[in-house]
Amino acid sequence: MTSPVESYVQQDYKYGFVTDIEADTVPRGLNEDTIRLISAKKQEPAFLLEWRLAAYRRWLAMTEPHWPNVQYPPIDYQDIIYYSAPKQVKPLGSLDEVDPELLATYEKLGISLSEQKRLSGVAVDAIFDSVSVATTFREKLAESGVIFCSFSDAVKDHPELVKKYLGSVVPAGDNFFAALNAAVFTDGSFVYIPKGVTCPMELSTYFRINAADTGQFERTLIVAEAGATVSYLEGCTAPKRDTNQLHAAVVELVALEGATIKYSTVQNWYAGDSEGKGGIYNFVTKRGKCAGARSRITWTQVETGSSITWKYPSVILQGDDSIGEFYSVAVVNNRQQADTGTKMIHVGRNTKSTIISKGISAGRGQNSYRGLVKMLPKAVGARNYTQCDSMLIGNACGAHTFPYIDVQHPSASVEHEASTSKIGEDQIFYCKQRGLDTEDAISMIVNGFCKDVFQNLPMEFAVEAQKLLGISLEGSVG
């Protein structure tokens, strides 16, 4: 039976184009010389090179984890290009000097790097393969003391901050992919919000993988001093290629006393074709530390892309009365696999965490929620609430829920609820009887299912996310 939805927006992954631009790449493969080369290209201080080399040596002794509920052929780490950057003649003085080809690329992705054209008051750091090509509104932000720049610039301009916080939440040897990232990371975003400052605009990073056979290893560090507030968004796309590409990022968030960090992701890496050929391996370590009392970290993610997603944005709730939140929508279609969730580690007293996870599986997709809620012995009065819902569309997909709950104090309370459902035939008929066609009905029902998460996204991202959801699920309903 051909469903009306199969004809529904039979549009391709619209971000799948390739930018033809001359690139400066390092030879394939990984050894200490590759790392020295990357570090030299970036003119890094000695401490950072040492840090990288130490991470690399630890990585050599580690084995790739295979506990996630995902399957993929072995990755040949010597067949990856660890650095690729668009060639540029001289250091950039202003946006006007950015290669027009790159500006056009971002325009095409719907991200304008021209500050005049940005009406919504969002500052953007654009990362293209291994480097940041532009960061908008830097001066305006600097007026309120906010530092928003590429990681490379931060290393040059604020080495003391980098030294203090780099690896403080995700240590270099935290896990296999984090260690690899520490050894070879090339760029990323750096955000520093001084004491008591509420960042005057949304900050965002747009990640673009362009070159073939490269891995993207970016590193983002956000520090919010006491009483500071920031909302940060990231978006990701990549060209359609029939080989897999590795994206192993690390994100570290530090919230000091009373600080708030809201980190939102709309992840739309190329997911591979309907037979599972190509696509990004998205193996990411994201962790925040509520270091100070009454601090708050919120992760919101909408994961629709990547052939394999493996990430657990987590919060260490160290400060008393601190709050960690995780809101997630993960969609898998065709042959996509996702193993995602969160860890909430309650250390301090009266810490609170909320986890809302919505998994949608269609086609032959496999979607796993994996979460850990840990209440340590000093987490007096700590609370967690977890709600974890799955929706299956079609009978060739799967939904899996693996929550781990570890409680070591009697006054802590943990509540976990999970459910699995399908879109009811009666729901679709009800909508049709009110005049809506099938695809509108499905889109409405799915968006309703995800509402608890979408309402935590900044407005324009929420709209984007809803559209993405419709596209990711196209052709999935029979």
Binding footprint of other proteins on the chain (CB under 8 A): 67, 375, 377, 390, 392-422, 424-427, 429-438, 440, 444-445, 447-452
Q: How many CA atoms does the CB half-sphere of 244 hold within 13 Å? A: 21
Q: At what angle do helices 176-184 and 32-41 cross, to 10 degrees?
A: 50
Smallest distance, other proteins to C-beta of residue 368, A: 9
CA distances (Å), origin 423, targets 311, 329, 416 = 27, 16, 23
- What's the chain's Rg over C-alpha atoms? 22
Smallest distance, other proteins to C-beta of residue 212, A: 35
Q: Among residues 79 and 415, whose Cβ is nearest to other proteins?
A: 415
Q: Among residues 47 and 430, whose Cβ is nearest to other proteins?
A: 430
Distance of CA 156 to the CA centre of its chain: 25
Q: Among residues 264 and 390, whose Cβ is nearest to other proteins?
A: 390
Q: Among residues 54 and 436, whose Cβ is nearest to other proteins?
A: 436
Smallest distance, other proteins to C-beta of residue 418, A: 5
Q: Among residues 143 and 425, whose Cβ is nearest to other proteins?
A: 425
Whether residue 247 contacts residue 280, with contact meaning beta carbons closer than 8 Å, is answered with yes
Burial of 41 (0-12, 13-18, 19+ CB in 10 A): middle
Smallest distance, other proteins to C-beta of residue 355, A: 13
- Bridge pairing between strands 296-303 and 131-135: unpaired
Written as one string, the DSSP assignment of 162-173 is HHHHTTSSS-TT
CB atoms closer than 10 angstroms to residue 93: 7
Smallest distance, other proteins to C-beta of residue 474, A: 17
Smallest distance, other proteins to C-beta of residue 475, A: 16
Q: Among residues 226 and 436, whose Cβ is nearest to other proteins?
A: 436
Helix (H) and strand (E) counts for the chain?
11, 23
Smallest distance, other proteins to C-beta of residue 303, A: 19
Q: Among residues 66 and 117, whose Cβ is nearest to other proteins?
A: 66
- Bridge pairing between strands 147-150 and 189-193: antiparallel
Q: Among residues 242 and 417, whose Cβ is nearest to other proteins?
A: 417
Whether residue 311 contacts residue 286, with contact meaning beta carbons closer than 8 Å, is answered with yes
Kindly state the DSSP code that residue 79 receives in the 8-state scheme.
G
Distance of CA 418 to the CA centre of its chain: 24
Q: Among residues 86 and 470, whose Cβ is nearest to other proteins?
A: 470
Smallest distance, other proteins to C-beta of residue 167, A: 27
Smallest distance, other proteins to C-beta of residue 55, A: 25
Q: At what angle do helices 176-184 and 46-60 cross, to 10 degrees?
A: 150
CA distances (Å), origin 237, targets 111, 113, 258, 348 = 12, 16, 34, 38
